[in-house]
């Protein structure tokens, strides 16, 4: 059962070895049950940081929580798989076509019944305040290919 928003502490910082869990559709897996970039289509970004790709942080969850209805808008994804990537594997210093340099990093945004909910956010590498900026196309694609390669069954 996923922890609720009142059972977690958002001040606990992420560390490089901490794992981030994400549920993956069987359609995104190859015949070996592994993600390949050409089948990995579930990463998207919008203008708001809250719409960045969702993950659950290991500090406050177990892999099965990613399939639980409380962390999946009440829907049944029990036949899906859970994959993980560590915080340290998120791409950094990705240069956009206009020369800006982006970092990706996790941000803990707990939901009422899914306290471990987090997103993979992005900012300019030079911004110490880490203000969210929706990454441009080629930077997004860089994340997508590296996540597909970095994600492993949890």
**Can you give the binding site for other proteins, defined by CB under 8 A?**
23, 25, 27, 36-39, 41-44, 51, 53-54, 72-73, 75, 77, 80, 97, 137-138, 141-142, 144-146, 149
Q: Which is nearer to other proteins, 7 or 38 (CB)?
A: 38
Residue 62 CB, shortest distance to other proteins, in Å, is: 18
Alpha-carbon torsion, ordered 55, 50, 14, 96, to 10 deg = 90
Pairing of strands 54-57, 117-124: antiparallel
**CA dihedral (43, 48, 132, 63) positive or negative:** negative
Q: How far is the CB of 61 from other proteins (least distance, A)?
A: 16
Minimum separation from the CB atom of position 52 to other proteins (A): 10
User: Of 7 and 41, which has the nearer Cβ to other proteins?
Assistant: 41
Q: Is residue 73 classed exposed, middle or buried when 0-12, 13-18 and 19+ CB atoms within 10 A define those classes?
A: exposed
Shortest distance, position 59 Cβ to other proteins, whole Å: 22
Centre a 10 Å sphere on the Cβ of residue 10 and count the other Cβ atoms it contains: 14
Closer residue to other proteins, CB minimum distance, 87 or 120: 120
Number of C-beta neighbours around residue 151 at 10 A = 22
């Amino acid at each position: 059962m996923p922890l609720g928003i009142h059972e977690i502490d958002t001040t606990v910082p992420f560390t490089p070895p901490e794992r981030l869990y994400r549920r993956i559709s069987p359609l995104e897996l190859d015949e070996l049950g592994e993600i390949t970039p050409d089948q990995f289509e579930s990463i998207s970004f919008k203008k708001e940081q809250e719409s960045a790709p969702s993950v659950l942080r290991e500090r406050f969850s177990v892999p099965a929580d990613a399939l639980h209805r409380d962390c999946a808008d009440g829907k049944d994804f029990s036949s899906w798989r859970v994959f993980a990537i560590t915080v340290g594997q998120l791409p950094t210093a990705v240069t956009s076509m206009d020369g800006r340099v982006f970092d990706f990093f996790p941000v803990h945004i707990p939901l009422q019944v899914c306290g471990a909910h987090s997103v993979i956010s992005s900012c300019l590498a030079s911004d110490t305040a880490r203000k969210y900026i929706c990454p441009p196309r080629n930077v997004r694609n860089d994340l997508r290919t590296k996540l597909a390669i970095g994600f492993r069954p949890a």
